[in-house]
Structure 1
């Protein structure tokens, strides 16, 4: 699976650009502020319906326009597929896949799986468990179709339970919702746990190559004491939940723990090592997707040379190349990437002041 055509209109400082990416490594280079990261952001937006740089999607619309438009042709084993997205400054979003309107943005994620490695990717290690839950749930969503419905139902019931807690409802009024919450929680937790177990098998080998002298332990925590019965725990913590106004324990507190010895990985490793660890997680996730459902991810790697020496740049690019997936890599100096590859990039693009040109 790969993008064979990408049209970008009114996205950040890119007024209009048409790219014909290759199936392998696509190198995008240019000075800071030229728009090279915006190309990666546009691909991500097309696959996720949002940005990886800002929670306010209206900010990605060019200041002189009232909407942005993204269009891509996706090469699939069954043939080409066309994806279009239009985002208005009012907040409205229109999505079409092969001419049919799409109501759920999750359909985009299912159609165009994306792995992103950017300076913001450090949030996976530094910004608390939410980013790590999203990481787990991305894989669970793609690997097991029943996960999405169970996850949405668990969120719906949790929202209702929290509202009752804030209203100070007696436990007799909450008991029904707890039965539903436990049922969906067990489904979500089982799939998450199964996914992390599968991921670990791939992850060990990749971490071993990136960080051969570091023993990184990766484990899944469900969001409550694994020895406790969840239904009994909810009943026992009712008074505490009422006092806080929300459900203290549950799948919304799940986490992926990464430790080196007794320390969290973010406290034990240098920034360069942490970048390699994040890369290992993303590459393992993409490889597992290929194993499980025979679908490649598209890798978006922003500012790859930063904080990595030549040896580790070569190692990372080799791992990305070996996935067989389509890769988009940005850099200020193209030599930093070209010199780290065993073969020339499949295609090179130069970006300057929002204008994109192919480099032959």
Structure 2
């Protein structure tokens, strides 16, 4: 009964229901999942990685053919997805002639921010969670999850350098995830802090996920933020939402360069951005930002935050929803066969069966070794 459906690329069965409806379908391509999968599956076997990548690509290509409109997080992402459409032969001359800009098909709708500043906290959220942090300590906040495509160990190594010059500095990791990729990355970060003799002395890990509505109190209790990632394709096309929260809370970030928002940090003087993996440069950048104080960055951060207010960034999506002109799915405007649902289903079943078989083989090996 829906007139419009907004979704991320879906698994085959759900996608079939969506595409058979009479609704206008808008796919959200905010997450470059096809590139992210290369990182999240790094701990799997080569066969499993190939299969997961194929399944993710199938979902993307089915979405590109079945969607009427698309939104993504940045102009850089828009270039990526237009390239994917072109590679799938979906940019038909008739559709191009109606709108050579292609904005009526795919436009930029990043994650947004609430209008106005965050509420003033009534207590110190971080110090309440970590009583060992003194009132006069300087808090550097990792304001988000720890994932294996990020580089938290670089932030820990930088703190080993920073502590020599700013002994009151404290690094706090805000959230802990439950997925395997998050647990593994958190364990490596904790080990790096332990090896540097900083764990629970200068580097602290919050064991729970901070509720979304409570995040502003943590952001306002810090002196600056830090976020580091590795140099790979996921980074290039990522849109680090955690940096948006820094803009909203007027908290200057020190981050790794290479993604869309870190480029904005460097260009507009919102904090500092350094090369990936350079813990010495990161320590120096943290020292400069802490030395200037968050007040020195407040006006620039507040101005940029206003650009990402929800009513402003969501305008193209609203236009897509309210568009009453007749429209066909993008795949209906192009020549070439639609990727068959059965192909996707077969790959998924083959993966499940293959995974089950590999598990049985490993069990048999263990039994033989025990004999």
TM-score range, shorter chain: under 0.3
Greater relative CO, 1 or 2 (CA 8 Å, sep 6+): 1
Normalising by structure 2, report the TM-score. Answer: 0.22
Flag the structure with larger Rg: 2
Which structure has the highest helix share of the two? 2
Which structure has the highest strand share of the two? 1
Normalising by structure 1, report the TM-score. Answer: 0.23
